[in-house]
Copies of this chain bind each other. A is one copy, B any other.
């Protein structure tokens, strides 16, 4: 049994610091690195790639909408092809820093509103998939487990990493419970660690209304922007270790 553990990294910008990258980097196997649109800048990208390499964490692009004020969390209406362009641009920029540091781009995971929209909107999913295929078909696309985008990407022949969230409650239909719902976001590191272990070992979560729901996951997402995120990371690693689960970069998990 094995799983990848990913986290958004490199979202600091100029004089602004966000996240706790130095500590989180010690616990994850894949880093989703912001590409300068919603967060990140060339210095931060360069530094974050170097740090990931040092800690043998695989690097991925984490492209978002061009909306720094909104941190990529709000949808933008786009022309046909525009999302594809946002993706190509940002993957290229991050891949360049990987190349400069002698490593490869392992994956790409859209950020925020782009991730959410791609999960369910066909046109967006198509553009995301087209971007990855045309830029580098070896790059793994990270999508929400059970999403339209994941299905479409697999059909298109892309390598796909299905992602699950051990700190988020699920509905009995396998969808994430909306954040507005009480209990939708889990904060106790112990509980999150136990959920992570169960997700991997049993391929299921207990839904918010007590059902067992099958979730096929290649990678678990760690939220780096919560208080004491590194403690959650540690708890997940401990939970996984106790259950005999190995943590590996997703390229060693997702078929090529």
Copies in the complex: 4
In angstroms, Cα B100 to Cα A70, docked, is: 24
- Give, as a whole number of angstroms, the nearest-CB distance from A163 to chain B: 21
Closest to A100 in B: B134
Among listed A91-99, A150-158, A174-182, interface-contacting one? A91-99
Partner among B39, B71, B88, B99 whose Cβ is within 8 Å of the Cβ of A97: B88
Given contacts A18-B16, A41-B69, A75-B77, contact A96 B88 (CB under 8 A): yes
Kindly state the interface size class of chain A when it binds its partner.
35 or more
Interface set of A (CB-CB < 8 Å, partner B): 13-18, 36, 39, 41-43, 45-46, 66-71, 73-79, 81-82, 84-86, 88-97, 99-100, 113, 131, 134-136
The 6 A-B pairs at the shortest CB distance, nearest first, are namely A92-B96, A42-B85, A16-B16, A74-B77, A15-B71, A100-B134
Closest beta carbon of chain B to A25's beta carbon, Å? 19
